[in-house]
């Protein structure tokens, strides 16, 4: 007998429909799922597996290179926080370091006007097919993400195109994450528990290991579901929904098998100010945030190269919210 899934699953195929009633039905299903759990599964006819398959093959080729080749595009050399992230570069609360490697890319914004710390040209490795395969996946999921923004607007009782003017050049980030094979690892809690800083995330992974903190404060495993992606609410959507949807704290367990994970984090334009769009729920009160500043300030609290720039006086940040300001708390 198949065990029930620990998280809700929503079919978003109706967002492709020309009938407003079909899109509204998806929005209502998303609203119900997000109120029950900040994490859920989404599947739909618009999810093409081919770009993900090519991205996985490309990621395997990239991370199989020697360290010198990977460090040629070290993220600390970029102008917009893109490039290779070696193991130990990210440090979370309590001084713990996340022992994975990654490659981060953004919108690859080439225009000189409007550049910001997270908005500019990406670093690209000298690896045939890497840029094309990564951008193909980025563009495919970005189109689906725009549909999701429309559904979230409907779910909040807003016009379906409410977010459209604020999605011109958003610093959406795609991470190619590699958890190497570790035969000595025990199946135990990992490190790096956090909420995502952005509006929402769409995630494809090759192996289990993800855990989320449920409303009761217990960690639950998130198994893979064939043909579905994981979606979760981030800080900014919690803020805009006035706490109707909570960002959910999550982490990856220490497991032995090799694992690839490809989250794409969706946000609004860098200078867009997010504030509650509906009356706040409960006792929490939310102050407005500028999208890009919140993302960069939170990022600067975890990446070693940005901490080093602050220590040298090369980077001065305004006061940032402490990590863990959103979501269910352990």
CA 282 to chain centroid = 26
Q: Which residue has the tokens 């979606």?
A: 231
What is the rounded distance in angstroms from the CA atom of residue 25 to the CA atom of residue 124? 41
- Cα 66 to its chain centre, rounded Å, is 27
- Show the tokens assigned to 241: 């929904």
Q: 110 falls in which pLDDT band (50, 70, 90)?
A: confident
The pLDDT tens digits of the residues spanning 208-222 come to: 888 888 877 888 889
Task: Give pLDDT tens digits for 239-283.
Answer: 999 999 999 888 887 766 789 999 999 999 999 999 999 988 767
Q: What is the mean pLDDT of the chain?
A: 88
Pair 190, 200: CB distance under 8 Å: no
Evaluated on CA atoms 129, 263, 34, 267, the torsion sign reads negative
- Tell me the pLDDT tens digit for each residue of 87-103: 999 876 555 556 789 99
The token duo for 83 is 């490039």
Q: Angle at Cα 319 formed by Cα 317 and Cα 325, nearest 5°?
A: 125
Q: How would residue 315 be classed by pLDDT, with cut points 50, 70 and 90?
A: confident
Give residue-wise pLDDT tens across range 222-246: 989 999 999 999 999 999 999 999 9
Closest CA to 172 of 107, 239, 79, 111: 107
R_g of the chain, CA atoms, integer Å: 19
**pTM beyond cutoff 0.85:** yes
Tell me the C-alpha distance between 327 and 330, whole Å.
Answer: 10
Residue 321: which of 272, 283, 287 has the closest Cα?
Answer: 287
> What pLDDT digit, counting tens, does each position of 16-31 carry?
999 999 999 999 999 9
pLDDT of 69 reads 97
8 A C-beta contact, residue 78 and residue 56: no
User: How far is 274 from 166, CA to CA, in rounded Å?
Assistant: 10
């Amino acid at each position: 007998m198949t065990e029930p899934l620990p998280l809700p699953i929503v079919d978003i195929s109706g967002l492709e429909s020309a009938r407003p009633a079909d899109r509204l039905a998806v929005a209502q299903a998303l609203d119900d799922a997000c109120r029950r759990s900040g994490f859920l599964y989404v599947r739909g006819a618009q999810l093409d597996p081919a770009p993900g398959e090519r991205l996985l093959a490309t990621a395997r080729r990239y991370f199989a290179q020697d360290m010198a080749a990977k460090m040629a595009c070290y993220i600390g050399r970029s102008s917009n926080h893109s490039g290779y992230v070696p193991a130990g570069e990210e440090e979370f609360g309590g001084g713990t370091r996340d022992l994975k490697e990654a490659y981060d890319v953004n919108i690859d914004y080439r225009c000189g006007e409007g550049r910001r710390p997270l908005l500019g040209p990406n670093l690209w490795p000298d690896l045939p097919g890497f840029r094309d395969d990564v951008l193909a996946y980025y563009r495919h999921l970005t189109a689906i993400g725009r549909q999701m923004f429309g559904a979230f607007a409907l779910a909040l009782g807003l016009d379906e195109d409410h977010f459209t003017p604020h999605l011109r050049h958003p610093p959406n980030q795609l991470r190619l994450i590699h958890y190497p094979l570790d035969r000595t690892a025990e199946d135990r809690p990992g490190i790096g528990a956090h909420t995502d800083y952005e509006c929402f995330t769409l995630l494809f992974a090759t192996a289990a290991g993800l855990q989320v903190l449920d409303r009761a404060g217990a960690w639950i495993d998130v198994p893979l579901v064939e043909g579905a992606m994981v979606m979760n609410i981030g800080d900014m959507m919690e803020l805009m929904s006035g706490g109707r949807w909570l960002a959910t704290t999550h982490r990856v367990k220490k497991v032995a098998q090799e694992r690839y994970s490809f989250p794409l984090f969706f946000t609004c334009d860098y200078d867009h100010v997010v504030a509650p769009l509906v009356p706040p729920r409960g006792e929490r009160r939310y102050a407005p945030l500028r999208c890009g500043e919140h993302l960069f300030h939170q990022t600067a609290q975890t990446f070693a190269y940005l901490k080093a720039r602050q220590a040298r006086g090369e980077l001065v940040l305004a006061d940032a919210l402490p990590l863990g300001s959103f979501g269910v708390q352990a």
